[in-house]
Amino acid sequence: MTRAPMSRLQPALAAVLVLTIAVFPLDHPTQYWLSVFVTAMILLLLNISWNFILGVAGVWNFGQLAIYGLGGYGAGLLMLHSPLPPWLAVLGGALGGAVISVLIAVPTLRLYGIYTSLLTFAFAEVIQYVILNDGTGLTGGSAGFPTAPGLFSALSPDAAMNAYYWTILVVVVLAMAAVAAITRSRLGMALRAVRDAPAYAAARGVSPLRLRMVAFAISGFLAGLAGALYLSFNQSISPSAMGLPPMSVDVTMFVIGGLGTMYGPLVGTALVTIVQTALVTHPGVQQTILGVFLLIVVVFVPGGLVGLVARTWRRVAEWADEDDDDEEEAADAAQQEGAEQHVA
């Protein structure tokens, strides 16, 4: 039947993918390539968090980068100025992200979607502005954060790189699994109900207030974690990680992949990273191409690339199963469409 192969295939494909990525370092690739992968994975984590709040929960949060940045700065400050071990500092950054995220959630509760976007966007800009102009030396201002030890300062550079690689891989896989599980759970269903049909959800007694806080907390935690990992890996962070250019890149990543879908961030991050790496010598062209690409995808391919693949797959499967009962197939297809569009 049409449904069974798809859902049997998914976990299998995922496992293969993870294994492939996991064994990559054993091939002794250059530091450059490993670094590209690690950076991509950190961004993937950020994008997963952003996709969750924007796509699944449907909240117009355009300030996620500020949480990311603050998670990084928070972790850095903990590493430098507190007795906590680096692991706990990273966790601290993540928790800080969650807290700040929830604090932002409060004023947005009463606002229309579009006002929330303005507010969160402005928030991100203001945070970046404040850090840029920070003369106290606490955050390092525009020069960037002073060097922080990171997670694996005890190891040799090569070993540390591998350690970061595998640690972050595990974190990303866990995060994806967690977000997928949450989305399929009652919480996830409630979030999607509030996103798609707020009046109906309210009539059913679903409380948007609590839900939104939870969504912000989860996505804030993951974004803060990504920022903390960024800081650890690069042993520093600067306001340029939070401005409009990286925001454009990130938004492009998960929108191209498919807003609200499970694999959207993965596909998008991978694709954009490939484009960026290929054009690394021409940053301006790179950004322009990404912008154009984003425009084309959003306008012409609703549901992003994941949506496109899902529709194509379904058509192929239907064609292959042409002998089967038509009605049953249509029901499966409809269910699949629901699953592909909203599962994350």
Partner 1 sequence: MSMTDVVGILVTTITLGSIYGLVAIGMTLIYGTLRILDMSQGSMVMAGSFIAWGVMAVAGWNPVIAILLAFAGTFVLGTLTQLVSVQPLLSRRNVVDFEMITFITTFAVALVFTNVALQVFGPYQKNVTPVISGGINIYNGVNLSYQALTMALVSVALMVGLGVFLARTRWGMAIRAVAQDLDAARLMGIPIGKLYPLTMGLASALAGIGGVFLGGLYFASPQAGDLPLLEALIVVIFGGLGSLPGTIYAAYAIGLIQGTAEIFVGTTWSLPILYGVILIVLIARPHGLLGKPAEARL
Interface contacts to partner 1, rule CB under 8 A: 58, 60, 62, 107, 110-115, 117-119, 121-123, 125-126, 129-130, 133, 244, 248, 251-252, 255, 284-285, 287-288, 290-292, 294-295, 298-300, 302
Task: Please identify, using beta-carbon distances, which residue of 39 and 248 lies nearer to partner 1.
Answer: 248
- Long-range Cβ contact pairs of 13-17 (< 8 A, separation 24 or more): none
CB count in 10 Å sphere of residue 31? 10
| Least Cβ distance, residue 248 to partner 1 (angstroms) | 5
3-state helix, strand, coil in the chain (%, to 5): 80, 0, 20
Question: Which tokens hold the place of 219?
Answer: 């996505």
Strands (E), 221-298: none
| Amino acid at site 48 | I
| Least Cβ distance, residue 288 to partner 1 (angstroms) | 4
Task: Please identify, using beta-carbon distances, which residue of 109 and 316 lies nearer to partner 1.
Answer: 109
Whether the Cβ atoms of residue 52 and residue 218 lie closer than 8 Å to each other: yes
| Least Cβ distance, residue 212 to partner 1 (angstroms) | 15
CB count in 10 Å sphere of residue 226? 32
Task: Please identify, using beta-carbon distances, which residue of 4 and 299 lies nearer to partner 1.
Answer: 299
| Least Cβ distance, residue 177 to partner 1 (angstroms) | 27
Task: Please identify, using beta-carbon distances, which residue of 80 and 118 lies nearer to partner 1.
Answer: 118
Handedness of CA 37, 41, 47, 48 (dihedral sign): positive
User: How does DSSP assign 227-246, residue by residue?
Assistant: HHHHHHHHT---GGGTSHHH
| Least Cβ distance, residue 242 to partner 1 (angstroms) | 13
For Cα atoms 11, 17, 22, give the angle at the middle one, nearest 5 degrees.
125
| Least Cβ distance, residue 44 to partner 1 (angstroms) | 19
* Residue linked to tokens 């996505």: 219
**Residue 54 DSSP symbol:** I
| Least Cβ distance, residue 200 to partner 1 (angstroms) | 16
Question: Which tokens hold the place of 290?
Answer: 């990404």
CB count in 10 Å sphere of residue 13? 11
Task: Please identify, using beta-carbon distances, which residue of 210 and 282 lies nearer to partner 1.
Answer: 282
Task: Please identify, using beta-carbon distances, which residue of 113 and 146 lies nearer to partner 1.
Answer: 113
Task: Please identify, using beta-carbon distances, which residue of 191 and 225 lies nearer to partner 1.
Answer: 191
Task: Please identify, using beta-carbon distances, which residue of 67 and 228 lies nearer to partner 1.
Answer: 67
Rounded to an integer, what distance in angstroms lies between the CA atom of residue 343 and that of residue 307? 11
In angstroms and rounded to an integer, the radius of gyration of the C-alpha atoms of the chain is 21
* Residue 208 half-sphere exposure toward CB, CA atoms < 13 A: 21
Closest CA to 47 of 233, 263, 239: 263
Rounded to an integer, what distance in angstroms lies between the CA atom of residue 22 and that of residue 166? 7
Question: Which tokens hold the place of 57?
Answer: 């929960």
| Least Cβ distance, residue 170 to partner 1 (angstroms) | 32
Task: Please identify, using beta-carbon distances, which residue of 235 and 248 lies nearer to partner 1.
Answer: 248
| Least Cβ distance, residue 298 to partner 1 (angstroms) | 5
